[in-house]
Each structure stands twice: as C-alpha cells, then as structure tokens.
Amino acid sequence: MILLMIGISAVLLIGIGCIHVYWAFGGKLGGNNVLPQGKTRGRQPVFAPGKMATLVVAFLVFSSALLLILQGGLFPVVQPNFIIKWGCWTCIAVFGLRVVGDLKYFGLFKKEWDSQFSYYDTYLFTPLCIWFCFIFYAAIQMK
C-alpha cells in the first residue's frame, strides 16, 4: 500500500513540475490562483517569478519526485543510499517550511485569508505539502 502511495505522490510531483514548465514557457491557465495577492497591492500578486525562477522550481520538483522514487524502491536498479536519504530529509524540511509559510501570505500561519490564492493555499497547497512531508518520511522509514 505504501508503494502505491509513493507512486501516486511521485506522479503528483511530476505533474506539478510539468505545470511549472508550462508556466515558464508562457502558459496562463491557473496562474492567477498560485501567486499570493496582497491587500495593499490592489489584489495584485506579491511577486512575479521570472522564467528562470519557474524553471528552477520545476527542476527541484522533478528532483524531489526522483528522490521519492529512488528512496521508495520503485526503481530497483538504484538502491537507496545516504545521499538519497539526505535528499529526502531535505524535501521534508522544504515542504515543512512551506507548510509553516511566511507568516503573512501563505502557510498555516498566514495573516491574509481573504484572497483567491489564500483559499487554494488553505485547501490544496498546504495540505499537499503536509502529505509530501508524510510520504517522504514514510519512504525513508521503509529502507
């Protein structure tokens, strides 16, 4: 069962990476819902990541999917080792920091609650990051 959950989580991460690549090359679908919006800025995004930053995020998400696949034993040619396990712990830390958030616009302790982004952050992005923390931990405990 845990292998199935690891596989589904890896597919989710790959899908998230593909969405970032789509956005980096000019895609607009869903883009209004994924950037924090501030009251003081007239509901405009708080920041606007460039093409390179979005591609870096895509690369990191693809890398985390690969780490999960390798640590979970879904690609048996490569055995989990110290570096892969360390990478999984790093993913737990990064997703965990995303869960806590910046204490203003995103995460569990955000202060801005009345934007479209805030809705998606509360019901999709933050729970997904909690899930990724759990699944990376579960993969580490397997091996």
Q: Where are the domains of the chain?
A: 2-28+46-142
* The pair of three-digit structure tokens given for residue 71, joined into one six-digit string: 């640590």
Tell me the per-residue pLDDT of 33-48, one tens digit each, with 9 for 90 and over. 898 887 765 678 888 8
Residues across the chain: 143
Q: How far is it, in rounded angstroms, from Cα 123 to Cα 136?
A: 21
Q: Is the per-residue pLDDT at 60 higher than 90?
A: yes
The answer for residues whose C-beta is within 8 angstroms of residue 32's C-beta and 6 or more apart is 116
Q: How far is it, in rounded angstroms, from Cα 131 to Cα 142?
A: 17
pTM score of the predicted model: 0.92
